[in-house]
Amino acid sequence: MTADTIAINQQMDQFDGHHSVWLFGYGSLIYKADFPYLERRPASIANWTRRFWQGSHDHRGTPDAPGRVVTIIEEAGAICHGMAYLITPEVFAHLDHREKNGYLRLAIAIAFEEGDSVEGLVYIATPDNTAFLGAASEQEIARHIARSAGPSGPNSDYLNHLASALRELGRHDQHVFEIERHLAALKD
């Protein structure tokens, strides 16, 4: 699948006619909400895990030297914590552009911290998109992040902002915190 997902996402009609839709964010969408929203609530999705396995050509790297950003990978029993936003459908034009490097909108069950749940959307970069990089050890990922930068800034900022945002949410993410630890060690 092409890495430019704007046209595919525009055809997604599952929530047509809805006045508002819940969007689940698990990466930069947790800490950088550069879009209007009606409400924001800590939430999680079940059977998915966050991984720095997606290449970034347009934000934290370039097409020749992609950075590494997160996507979600199916894993039975896993819980991925993040932030859910209630948005109006007009906001998708901005989000589709921001997430255009391989991310598709997917309908998903979102569980709020308070215990209620809702059907909403998440942006996911699946292994069949051409920017997907796949698995590597946390140490290799840290080295990759350390040398990468793109139009949105250093790749290390993406990792550090995400790790801080997860701490603020009171959530431990072994994969993210392990990469953060390796990255800090590279500077010593």
Out of 21, 27, 49, 67, which residue is the one contacting ligand SIN (CB under 6 A)?
A: 27
Residue by residue, DSSP assigns the chain as --SB-HHHHHT--TTTT-S-EEEEE-SHHHH---S--SEEEEEEEEEEEEEEEEEESSSSS-SSS-EEEEEEEEEEEEEEEEEEEEE-TTHHHHHHHHTTBTEEEEEEEEEETTS-EEEEEEEEE-TTSTTB-----HHHHHHHHHT-EETTEEHHHHHHHHHHHHHHTT---HHHHHHHHHHHHHH-
Per-residue binder mask for ligand SIN (CB under 6 A), 73-102, x = binder: --------------------------x---
Q: How far apart are CA 163 and CA 145, in angstroms?
A: 14
Out of 29, 43, 80, 131, which residue is the one contacting ligand SIN (CB under 6 A)?
A: 29
Chain Cα centroid distance, residue 75: 16
Cβ-based nearer residue to ligand SIN, 5 or 187? 5
Per-residue binder mask for ligand SIN (CB under 6 A), 98-127, x = binder: -x-----------------------x----
Q: Is residue 176 a contact residue for ligand SIN (CB under 6 A)?
A: no
Out of 26, 48, 53, 85, which residue is the one contacting ligand SIN (CB under 6 A)?
A: 26
- 99 carries an active-site annotation: yes
Q: Is residue 66 a contact residue for ligand SIN (CB under 6 A)?
A: no
- Residue type, position 62, single letter: T
Q: Is residue 180 a contact residue for ligand SIN (CB under 6 A)?
A: no
Q: Which stretch binds ligand SIN (CB under 6 A): 6-14, 27-35, 144-152, 163-171?
A: 27-35
Q: Is residue 138 a contact residue for ligand SIN (CB under 6 A)?
A: no
Cβ-based nearer residue to ligand SIN, 121 or 142? 121
Catalytic residues: 99
